[in-house]
């Protein structure tokens, strides 16, 4: 199949330049006629393109690429299967991580709750100790003022001796 080469633009530019040269220089008629003949030959020339060798090149490339495509598809399938295995492992590890994190959270909350409870119990015990120490001080003062200290000590010794004999 032959295609005609379009040279109209090229010819117009060439003719324009040729007219300018002709005005500037006095060229003889033989050169101009020879150039005109060459221009006509260029306008009438055609370009022939053969597609048959291109078809064989395409077939050769297709055979070569089929081999590479099958190799690449095998590699792709292997990578996909490996990624699935790794993904399952990672999801299992992620589950373990979040499970351990949840257990640690509950453990921390329990320890914090126990610590707060112990703090409040300590404060309550301190208040109770202060109260009983003040009470004991007041009773001791009362006993001293009323000279009942000796009676109290004898009563206390009697109580302790009764408890020792029972045990």
Bigger pLDDT: 166 vs 5:
166
Question: What are the tokens at 74?
Answer: 């095998």
Pair (71, 7) in one structural domain:
no
Question: Based on the structure, what is the number of domains in the chain?
Answer: 2
Give residue 1's pLDDT. 43
Residue 47's beta-bridge partner residues? 3
36: CB partners within 8 A, 6+ apart: none
Q: What secondary structure letter does DSSP report for 47?
A: E
Averaged pLDDT for residues 141-160: 84
CB 1 within 8 A of CB 51: yes
Give residue 2's pLDDT. 47
Pair (43, 62) in one structural domain:
no
Pair (1, 83) in one structural domain:
no
3-state secondary structure of 20: helix
pTM above 0.75? no
Give residue 131's pLDDT. 95
**Percent of the chain having pLDDT more than 90?**
26
Q: 3: domain range?
A: 1-49
């Amino acid at each position: 199949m032959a295609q005609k080469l379009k040279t109209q633009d090229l010819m117009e530019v060439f003719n324009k330049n040729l007219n300018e040269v002709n005005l500037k220089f006095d060229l003889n008629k033989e050169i101009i006629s020879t150039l005109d003949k060459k221009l006509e030959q260029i306008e009438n020339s055609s370009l022939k393109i053969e597609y048959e060798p291109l078809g064989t090149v395409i077939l050769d490339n297709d055979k070569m690429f089929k081999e590479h495509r099958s190799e690449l598809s095998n590699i792709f399938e292997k990578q996909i299967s490996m990624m699935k295995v790794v993904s399952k492992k990672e999801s299992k590890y992620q589950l373990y991580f979040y499970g351990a994190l949840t257990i640690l959270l509950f453990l921390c909350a329990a320890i914090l709750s126990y610590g707060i409870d112990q703090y409040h119990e300590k404060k309550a015990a301190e208040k109770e100790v202060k109260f009983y120490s003040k009470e004991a001080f007041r009773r001791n003062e009362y006993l001293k003022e009323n000279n009942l200290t000796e009676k109290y000590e004898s009563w206390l010794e009697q109580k302790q001796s009764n408890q020792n004999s029972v045990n």
